[in-house]
Structure 1
């Protein structure tokens, strides 16, 4: 599949045939919005059992890379177990989703063995304190104007919004957006308050001697500012903007996770770890050029797999100033998809960036215009950018090679066919 001629393609049949004919294949995939619907309440997430069984058939060629977590009350492992009659069967037969969670610092194999390479006990202890702080923050905030919710309503919101993830505690305020979406000023004030609260957490960490341990991840976001901090995407029109405020360990960025996964993939194929057995996300550089150089210096090109990166959170919004129009580009999947694309060019492996349109779920996001994309496929002279507003732009260095405009169900069908035909 020639990337130059298949950008923004809807040709899933050609992609399927191409991947079935690729022996040395590595599929790295996000989870929420990709293989399950984006929902306001994470406790209602579900995974299709046939998808889980398909990941089992692709063992060795499939890894997840998510900002969510494998374990904990909101972890994906519990969702996997719900799909089976006997949870013990999941562990015994190896049906857990292998790969990296919490942005890259929580490693799991197919049998549910979990570790946190490079993370200290002191850092885990501080992370453990964050959910209670978040509950108190919402309890105090929502009781007063302009929110003024009842005690029962506040308790329900806290139960839904505070995600007590062990390695990436999160405020997921989708349900609050549902409640305040007809009061946009209140919703934006809530986003601002959540951002301030996250900044205060960083200050508490610094006072505890952990000033260089954490960062704040916003999903979706507007990329990074001059200090390297992610920008909040405030609500605009029908777009909810940032709804996930994640307190994360430094180094827990998905693009670094790609190299951690590659390190394990090489060990699986040749019996050695090119980056060392204990290489982890917190030891790695974070800049794209440095990551590419690290890969080139250590990974044997003859064994480099063809990588397929699959995600749903990529953003691009125009900003007008005295210098004209420029774009703020972000999204929690942008970094790792960009690295997958660049690795394909560096190693000449024809890597593929796959984009899932998750706008059809309960969470409002920019969607792609399938009809326009189809017309573009038939008439390449027709500009494609009107179909991708809010997601990408004409000057975006990241190219979305293949798009699934009907969301996670369309992708799951494709994924299961891939597993069957391989």
Structure 2
């Protein structure tokens, strides 16, 4: 247990100072809840202009890794453009957020050059049909018992819930959780109906020759079952459970995306792709052991950066009716791989957790007061402060926690970018 006492820190100063003194580092960061608040309707998301500017100053040291998308009316690119005085500046000055979206199958550089490596035209055509099917399903469902909602409210709710993402069409039922939160049994029934709808989409895909092309990502989830499928997390104790049901391409999982980003990082450093120019999540293994071996066999240890993984979606709970602990969360896989890469390549990688519980989406939060007590009571274990997020036997170790949410992290990020910009200018002047 002693190893854990060095982590779960609420003080990010040491991390800031050490990164500013690190020659080669890479921040790999989620988006929603990390650099902008969690909201019920993705169309209302806002990102700070100074954060966008800071990301540009950290070019080459920063990538995003998100299950959202870059493009489309609900994509992050629109949010970036809205944050600027002139939207045209985003493309002219390279202010878009580089990295992977849709779990790893939508690659973008700073200038919004977007590609979907490994995705077939047939798959894209099937995905294009999903939002209309989701709208029809939800429209019909909400008019029946036990929901019995009337128009025009149904259409308003459906418009908020169905996300017409290009390669990860999603049913986001946050707005329906708010509507039914005083009737948890009805909301849980709705969750199960949406899960059944997603299962039917897989059946339709298989009938069209696309069996195995897709999977359902539940966010948040209750880990994976014996077959490797994510478990639905039903609402309990005032928590919404699974609110995002994403129909995603197979291989579009963040831990695989991390290797795609490292392949791209090495190319930017050397002009060569260690894993090949065509490497993509559809070609990669999915197990952490296999991913770790691939990295160890391929990446030059001398060029491996110190990696800082930043996320806000982790879960830990008991399987209903059992003493078995199940762990999930869409950020768990890539954070755990970053931790393992640090051990393999002997890098001081760090895992950063952002407490996004103050947003519009209900999820477990940090007991800040209890963690603060650990400064004067080092023997005090942190688990009670992290209930629902992690536990005493969790192999994932969180190093730094931003209890102040995305606002606190943005301050940190902007300060780091400023320091690195000054350092780069000083080095350029010497040369």
The TM-score normalised by the length of structure 1 is: 0.98
Per-residue CA deviation, residues 26-81 of structure 1 (Å, 9 max, x unaligned), is: 00000000001000111100000000000000000000000000001110000000
Aligned partner (choices 374, 383, 386) of residue 385 of structure 1: 383
Tell me what 2:189 maps to. Answer: 189
* CA displacement 1:149-177 (0-9 Å, x = unmatched): 11111111111010000000000000010
Aligned-residue offset at 1:319: 3.3
Q: Indicate the residue corresponding to 1:257 in structure 2.
A: 257
| Residue-by-residue CA offset, 1:337-378 (whole Å, 9 max, x unaligned) | 000000001100010000000100000000010110111232
Match of 2:342 in 1: 344
Q: Distance in 1 between matches of 2:363 and 2:4?
A: 27
Q: CA deviation at 1:84?
A: 1.1
Change (3 A) 1:5 1:388: closer
CA distance in 2, matches of 1:300, 1:359: 39
Shift in Å at residue 196 of structure 1?
Answer: 0.4
Per the alignment, residue 283 of structure 1 pairs with 283
1:14-413 → structure 2 map (5 Å cutoff): 14-319=14-319, 325-413=323-411
Please state how far the C-alpha of 1:321 moved relative to its aligned partner. 5.5
CA distance in 1: counterparts of 2:210 and 2:233, whole angstroms: 27
Asked whether the 8 Å contact 1:314–1:333 carries over to 2, the reply is: yes
Distance (whole Å) between structure 1 residues aligned to residue 238 and residue 101 of structure 2? 30
Displacement after TM superposition at 1:186 (Å): 0.9
* Alpha-carbon distance in structure 1 between the residues aligned to 2:375 and 2:210: 52
Q: C-alpha separation between the residues in 2 aligned to 1:181 and 1:319?
A: 22
Query: How far apart are the structure 2 equivalents of 1:319 and 1:193?
Result: 21
User: Is 2:307–2:349's contact at 8 Å kept on the other side of the alignment?
Assistant: yes
Alpha-carbon distance in structure 2 between the residues aligned to 1:343 and 1:407: 26
Deviations 1:314-334 (A, max 9, x none): 000023757xx2210000000
SS in 2 for 1:85: coil
Deviation string 1:392-414 (CA, Å, 9 cap, x unpaired) is: 00000101111001110011111
SS at match of 1:282: coil
Task: Tell me the secondary structure at the aligned position of residue 151 of structure 1.
Answer: coil
2:236 & 2:131 partners in 1: Cα distance?
28
CA contact (8 A) 2:239 2:362 kept: yes
Report the Cα distance in structure 1 between the residues aligned to 2:235 and 2:68, rounded to whole angstroms: 23
- Displacement of 1:4: 6.3
Q: Deviations over 1:61-118 (max 9, x none)?
A: 0000000000011100000000112221110100000000000000000000000000
**Conserved in 2, the CA contact under 8 Å of 1:6 and 1:402?**
no
Runs of 4+ in 1 over 6 A off after TM superposition: none
CA distance in 1, matches of 2:320, 2:257: 34
Alpha-carbon shift at residue 5 of structure 1 (Å)? 5.7
State the Cα RMSD in Å. 1.2
Contact 2:38 2:356 in 1 (8 A): yes
| Closer/same/farther in 2, CA of residues 5 and 348 from structure 1, 3 Å limit | farther
Q: Which runs of 5+ in 2 are unaligned?
A: 421-431
Q: Structure 2 length as normaliser, TM-score?
A: 0.96
